[in-house]
């Protein structure tokens, strides 16, 4: 596996390119020329951090892409790469995947893409790849800091901090600020008090859409066939549009866009004048007005628009245009997708009257969700689940094992397969009881299960490359489906579901399975020899670990896998201090274990730079007074910053 792919799936370079392509003319130039921004760029500002708040719809993300492009151009002008330009685009729809660690990995990936890594870092990453380990957050920060020291100056542009987990915003900002005095951070977000409190001592530059930028955008939209005919030879109407839209938009590109979409629907000049005078001056009213246009369409266009809105409001992640086309083309109770049922790209945007762009905006999604009871009286998750299951059941679907398939090729051959296989269970959990029969029927066909497991790197089944129905349902946390399968006679001995449930981290599912007399809590995989406890520890599922440890049937606390690694070893390998703490507090835990490579727990933690875990292990008498301890601490002194420890062996 390539190092860059191993680091993270996040690709902020592609996001930046997509956002930059939406720039109109020289919009954003006011920001780039502002004294405050230029002082930040030059390093003469009082703070190396610049917070740029702005209201919804003012174009913060597009501006972030423009800023990144400008900073990158500085290197080209000076024919030097002494400055590194990195980006982070937070996304509310990817909140679960975007953690502090994953965003830092995203920064490292960009460094690797543009400049490569030092030999020491590259060697360490290959070692982690081989050992299936991840460095601790502390070590990850240290590695990133070391790599950034190779540059005279580093610019990091972080967009949409408000779309990042509120619990971890402060940790993220403080971490980036700690990377070095030569690291300059620019952050965009909505103007929220809680976020503002993170930047009390930093410079602030408010993002707004200046009149010139709004006018540039409006001018670009006046070329629309219908509007261009209306204003031909009518300077008064042209000026009325420029003035009226700019005034009502109140510095919001998103609102200006909705207004231009509305005006483009007028059929004569009088209607155009009337529409200009009736333009709303806030987003909610603008969305309502646009929705009225959607409702006034023909029955088929309206129905299509609401299907699109439903996917936007309730999909687990935003769909690409191609994915949306295929999702809308899937028909219930069919064995193949009819290509004649695909809608053209342009039609999707037209029937939505401007409410939907290529990439749905946070504000639009908020609107749909706030009106979901009115707009979507039916259960949309039912529709999405059926679509996913039907697509994965198609006879002409091209797929193969997740271990050998190329994800990009699979996605090209089956445009909706990635979303269906990755997200079907998210929707199914919300309609389990309603769709119990259909879900079980789907899972009972092996080909369907293979299709649904296509994009997983490893399979969730124990002793099997293809998960069986009970295992599959357990992995995805489908409690009602598992209960139904058990009632129907599914045998946990033949389809051991506990390992799958543990891998998925589903606490209630684990509790349900442990209540079954024929579920073996100590059963190890026949190949890897890993037990459910090891699996829970390696995935940092703290609550699941606790439930397993509480079982009176557990007798595999110190069991080891094929490499001689115990659950405690796995918790250390995955940098899970919470799980390590729980295991160390468990009576009977073996802390003096050495794996097949002869490595001790302490040496393993020290090699990964896990300071917190090393401290916990040193609190164990059997480790603190071991002759090996001093040797380990001395060997890894530099990595552990040994001055923190006061140990006498």
Tell me the mean pLDDT in the region 73-99.
Answer: 81
Higher-scoring residue by pLDDT: 65, 637: 65
pLDDT digits (tens, 9 = 90+) for 129-165: 887 788 888 889 999 999 999 999 999 999 999 999 8
Alpha-helical (H) ranges within 339-468 are 345-351, 362-370, 372-375, 380-393, 407-413, 417-428, 436-443, 446-452
Contact of 290 with 364, CB cutoff 8 Å: no
Beta bridge partners of 582: none
Per-residue pLDDT, 639: 60
Domain-ending residue, one of 281, 315, 340: 281
Q: How far is CA 347 from the centre of its chain?
A: 29
Percent of the chain topping pLDDT 90: 53
Span 287-316, average pLDDT? 90
51 DSSP β-pair partners? 187, 204
Residue 326 has pLDDT above 70, yes or no: yes
Number of domains in the chain: 3
**Among 112, 92, 116, 90, residue whose Cα is nearest residue 103:** 90
Q: Does any domain span residue 570?
A: no
Please report which confidence band the pLDDT of residue 644 belongs to, taking 50, 70 and 90 as the band edges. Answer: very low
Chain mean position to CA 633: 37
Q: Is 587 among the domain residues?
A: no
Instruction: Look at the alpha carbons of 542, 543, 546, 547 in this order and tell me if their dihedral is positive or negative.
Output: negative
Min mean pLDDT across 41-55, 124-138, 258-272 is at 124-138
Nearest to 217 by CA among 8, 25, 81: 25
343 or 4, higher pLDDT? 343
Q: What value does the mean pLDDT take over residues 391-415?
A: 71
The whole-number pLDDT of residue 370 equals: 83
CA 157 – CA 178 distance, rounded (Å): 15
Which whole number is the average pLDDT over 570-598? Answer: 93
pLDDT of residue 110: 94
Q: In a 3-state reduction of DSSP, which class is residue 166?
A: helix
Helix residue ranges, H only, 115-251: 119-131, 137-148, 169-177, 193-196, 211-221, 225-231, 235-249
Co-location of 162 and 30 in the same domain = yes
Calpha distance 112→24 (Å, rounded)? 31
pLDDT at residue 209, as a whole number: 78
In this structure, how many other beta carbons lie within 10 angstroms of the beta carbon of residue 335?
A: 9
Helices of type H across 459-561: 469-475, 479-487, 498-504, 507-514, 532-538, 542-550
Q: Is the pLDDT of residue 360 over 60?
A: no
pLDDT for 137 equals 86
**Residue 180's closest CA among 150, 212, 220?**
150
Tell me the C-alpha to C-alpha distance, in Å, between residue 195 and each of 67, 97, 170, 635: 21, 21, 8, 42
Q: Exposure of 458 by Cβ count < 10 A (0-12 exposed, 13-18 middle, 19+ buried)?
A: exposed
183-190 and 203-204 as β-strands: parallel, antiparallel, unpaired? unpaired
Check whether residue 36 and residue 180 sit in a common domain. yes
Distance CA 486, CA 495 (A): 11
Could you give the C-alpha distances from 458 to 340, 455, 461, in angstroms and in order?
36, 9, 9
Name the band, by pLDDT with cuts 50, 70 and 90, for residue 270.
Answer: very high
Same-domain check for residues 147 and 192: yes
Last residue of a domain, one of 150, 178, 204: 204
Average pLDDT score over residue span 501-514: 95
Residue 541 lies in a domain: no
Do 47 and 139 sit in the same domain of this protein? yes
28, part of any domain: yes
The H or E element that residue 188 is part of is strand 183-190
pLDDT at 579 over 70: yes
Under DSSP, is residue 313 helix (H, G, I), strand (E, B) or coil? helix
Q: Are residues 217 and 189 in the same domain?
A: no
Mean pLDDT, rounded, for 67-74: 94
On the question of pLDDT at 305 being above 60, the answer is: yes
Are 331 and 25 a contacting pair, CB within 8 Å? no
Residue 96 has pLDDT above 80, yes or no: no
Average pLDDT over residues 321-329: 93
Confidence of residue 649 (pLDDT cuts 50, 70, 90): very low
Residue 23 lies in a domain: yes
> Which residues neighbour 71 within 8 Å (Cβ) at sequence distance 6 or greater?
41, 83, 85, 155, 157
Rounded Cα–Cα distance for residues 338 and 466 (Å):
29
Same domain, 77 and 197: yes
Per the CB < 8 A criterion, the answer to whether 89 and 12 are in contact is: yes
Name the domain boundary from 233, 254, 281.
281
402 confidence band (pLDDT: 50, 70, 90): very low
pLDDT at 609: 80
User: For residue 354, what pLDDT band results from cuts at 50, 70 and 90?
Assistant: low
DSSP 643: G
d(CA 19, CA 521): 50
> Residue 92's pLDDT band (boundaries 50, 70, 90)?
confident
d(CA 522, CA 499): 10
CA terminus-to-terminus distance, the chain: 42
Ranges 35-39, 216-220, 436-440: which has the least confidence? 216-220
For the stretch 177-205, pLDDT in tens is 999 999 999 999 999 999 999 999 999 99
One domain, residues 158 and 50: yes
Average pLDDT over residues 33-51: 93
What pLDDT is attached to residue 80?
56
The per-residue pLDDT of the chain, averaged, comes to 87
* 263 and 363 fall within a common domain: no
SS3 content of the chain, % helix, strand, coil (to 5): 55, 5, 40
Contact by Cβ (8 Å): 566, 554: no
Instruction: Give the mean pLDDT of 439-464.
Output: 75
β-strand pairing of 183-190 with 153-159: parallel
In a domain, 332, yes or no: yes
CA angle 204, 208, 214 (to 5 degrees): 160
Is 117 in the same domain as 84? Answer: yes
Q: Are strands 83-89 and 49-54 parallel, antiparallel or unpaired?
A: unpaired
Residue 148 and residue 266 in one domain: no
For residue 638, name the pLDDT band (cuts at 50, 70, 90). Answer: low
Quick one: pLDDT at residue 365? 76
* Cβ neighbours for 519, distance < 8 A, ≥ 6 positions apart: 492, 496, 497, 498, 513
- Angle value at C-alpha 401, between 397 and 404, nearest 5 degrees: 120
Q: What angle do CA 570, 574, 578 make, to 5 degrees?
A: 90
Is residue 264 in a domain? Answer: yes
Q: How confident is the model at residue 465 (pLDDT cuts 50, 70, 90)?
A: low
Domain extent, residue 354, equals 299-377
Q: Three-state DSSP class for 646? A: coil
CATH code at position 30: 3.40.50.300
pLDDT tens, 523-534? 999 889 999 999
Q: Are 377 and 293 in contact (CB under 8 A)?
A: no
Q: Which of 263-267, 326-330, 581-585 has the lowest mean pLDDT?
A: 263-267
**Please, which residues bridge with residue 302 across strands?**
none
Q: 52: closest CA among 30, 20, 74?
A: 30
Q: Is residue 601 part of a domain?
A: no
Same domain, 200 and 249: no
> What percent of the chain is modeled with pLDDT above 70?
92
Both 77 and 148 in one domain: the answer is: yes
Residue 637 has a pLDDT of: 67
């Amino acid at each position: 596996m390539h190092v860059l792919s191993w680091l993270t799936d996040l690709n902020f370079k592609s996001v930046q390119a997509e956002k930059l392509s939406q720039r109109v003319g020289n919009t954003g130039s006011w920001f780039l020329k502002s004294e405050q921004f230029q002082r930040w760029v030059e390093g003469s500002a009082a703070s190396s951090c610049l917070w740029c708040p702005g209201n919804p719809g003012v174009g913060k993300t597009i501006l972030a892409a423009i800023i990144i492009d400008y900073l990158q151009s500085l290197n080209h002008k000076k024919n030097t790469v002494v400055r590194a330009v990195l980006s982070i685009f937070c996304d509310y729809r990817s909140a679960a995947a975007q953690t502090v660690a994953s965003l830092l990995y995203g920064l490292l990936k960009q460094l690797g893409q543009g400049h490569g890594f030092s030999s020491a870092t590259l060697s360490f990453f290959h070692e982690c790849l081989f050992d299936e380990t991840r460095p601790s957050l502390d070590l990850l920060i240290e590695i990133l800091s070391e790599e950034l020291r190779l540059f005279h100056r580093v610019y990091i542009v972080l967009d949409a901090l408000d779309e990042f987990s509120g619990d971890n915003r402060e940790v993220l900002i403080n971490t980036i600020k700690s990377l070095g005095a030569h690291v300059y951070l620019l952050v965009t977000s909505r103007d929220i008090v809680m976020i503002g409190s993170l930047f009390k001592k930093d410079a602030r530059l408010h993002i707004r859409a200046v009149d010139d930028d709004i006018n540039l955008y409006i001018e670009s939209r006046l070329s629309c066939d219908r509007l261009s005919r209306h204003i031909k030879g009518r300077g008064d109407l042209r000026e009325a549009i420029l003035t009226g839209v700019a005034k009502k938009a109140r510095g919001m590109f998103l609102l200006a866009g909705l207004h231009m979409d509305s005006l483009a629907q007028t059929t004569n000049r009088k209607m155009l004048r009337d529409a200009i005078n009736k333009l709303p001056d806030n987003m909610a009213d603008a969305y309502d007005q646009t929705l009225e246009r959607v409702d006034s369409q023909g029955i088929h266009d309206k129905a299509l628009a609401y299907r699109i809105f439903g996917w936007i409001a309730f999909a687990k992640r935003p769909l690409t245009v191609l994915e949306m086309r295929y999702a809308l083309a899937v028909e219930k109770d069919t064995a193949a997708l009819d290509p004649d049922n695909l809608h053209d790209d342009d039609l999707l945007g037209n029937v939505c009257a401007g409410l939907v762009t290529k990439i749905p905006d946070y504000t639009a999604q908020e609107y749909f969700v706030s009106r979901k009871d009115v707009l979507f009286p039916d259960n949309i998750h039912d529709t999405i689940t059926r679509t996913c299951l039907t697509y994965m059941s198609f006879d002409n679907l091209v797929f193969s094992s997740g271990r050998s398939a190329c994800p990009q090729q699979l996605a090209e051959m089956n445009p909706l397969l990635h979303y269906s296989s990755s997200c079907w269970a998210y929707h199914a959990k919300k309609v389990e009881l309603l769709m119990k029969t259909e879900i079980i029927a789907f899972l009972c066909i092996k080909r369907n299960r293979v299709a649904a497991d296509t994009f997983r790197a490893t399979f969730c089944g124990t002793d099997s490359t293809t998960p069986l129905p009970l295992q599959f349902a357990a992995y995805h946390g489908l409690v009602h489906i598992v209960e139904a399968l058990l009632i129907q006679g599914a045998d946990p001995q033949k389809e051991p579901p506990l390992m799958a449930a543990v891998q998925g981290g589903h606490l209630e599912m684990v509790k349900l399975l442990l209540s079954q007399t024929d579920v073996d809590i100590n059963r190890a995989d026949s190949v890897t020899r890993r037990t459910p406890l090891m699996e829970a520890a390696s995935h940092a599922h703290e609550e699941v670990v606790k439930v397993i440890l509480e079982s009176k049937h557990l007798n595999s606390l110190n069991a080891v896998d094929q490499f001689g690694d115990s659950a405690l070893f796995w918790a250390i390998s995955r940098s899970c201090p919470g799980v390590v703490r729980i295991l160390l507090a468990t009576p009977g835990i073996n802390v003096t274990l050495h794996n097949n490579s002869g490595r001790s727990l302490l040496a393993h933690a020290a090699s990964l730079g896990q300071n917190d875990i090393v401290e916990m292990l040193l609190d164990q008498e059997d480790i603190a007074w071991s002759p090996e301890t001093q040797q380990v601490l001395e060997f890894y002194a530099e990595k552990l910053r040994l001055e923190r420890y006061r140990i006498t062996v």
